[in-house]
Amino acid sequence: MWGTIFLAVEPDVRAGVFNSVGTPYDNLRLSPTFRAGSIGVPLASRTPSLINSPGLTAIDGVSVGPPRFNENLPLRDQPPVINTVAGAMEIQEVLDHMKWATQSASSLACAPYLRKNPLPGVPAKSVLFQFNIGDQITTNPTTMVVLRAGDLADRATLLRYDLAYAENPAIATNPHLLIRNIAVPSVAPLARGIREQIAVFLASDGTLTIHPEPMRFFEVPVVAPLPESLNFIHYSFVIAPRRDQCPGHAEVYG
């Protein structure tokens, strides 16, 4: 997230790769890992408390801990909701204030300055965004917000971790920072593919984007429509069909 802000304002860095980028408060709210501590605790500490028990016990099939709350907010790809949850509107108002107050340090606010509308004295940047389907730390909907804000979907590579999980259900269900797992045999090929794409992109000064190996697990660029749902992977997970129906992708685009 900080890299998006840095590249938007720093004129002397020409190219950059962003791995697992989201937006601050919506991501904390939607992440099973951060939801309770980063959003639930502040809501509980208010006077009066805004915790509206029993709250949500799970998000997209993944359990969340206390303090639990229910803000009753649909995702972008879901239909409008008529609110029937007591206390949800008060929580929504606080969440709006949180997001408004942090926009000056938000990856969302800075995304348009990367390429679409560069700041004065700062050239447009060559960028590459990498993200994983079903990321439980940096959630897919908050990555999509950044890509839409900067018109950057054509510069995004999606790791179809759901397809990898379908081939090997013994791997972890959360693909966040898979790039670090180069020493884990079951996912090392994926981690190497991610790293190689970064290395080639930066070595070419942001002019060359390869299709990583194993090719069947990567969309380069991400195939429309953008994945607006959480897509969390868990042990009762049902694998969706491939989103791309063509026999393959071009190996390089630039």
Whether 96 shows a pLDDT value over 90: the answer reads yes
Per residue in 153-203, pLDDT (tens digit) is 999 999 999 999 999 999 999 999 999 999 999 999 999 999 999 999 999
Beta-carbon contacts of residue 225 (< 8 Å; ≥ 6 apart): none
- Report how far residue 119's alpha carbon sits from residue 125's, in angstroms, rounded to the nearest whole number: 11
Backbone phi and psi for residue 252, each to the nearest 5 degrees, phi listed first: -140, 140
Per residue in 116-162, pLDDT (tens digit) is 999 999 999 999 999 999 999 999 999 999 999 999 999 999 999 99
Q: Is 210 helix (H, G, I), strand (E, B) or coil?
A: strand
Beta-carbon contacts of residue 21 (< 8 Å; ≥ 6 apart): 1, 3, 4, 107, 129, 131, 138, 143, 146
Is beta strand 126-132 parallel, antiparallel or unpaired with respect to 156-159?
parallel
DSSP 252: E
How would residue 236 be classed by pLDDT, with cut points 50, 70 and 90?
A: low
Per residue in 12-57, pLDDT (tens digit) is 999 999 999 988 889 999 999 999 999 999 999 999 999 999 999 9
Instruction: Evaluate whether 217 touches 171 at the Cβ level (below 8 Å).
Output: no
How would residue 247 be classed by pLDDT, with cut points 50, 70 and 90?
A: very low
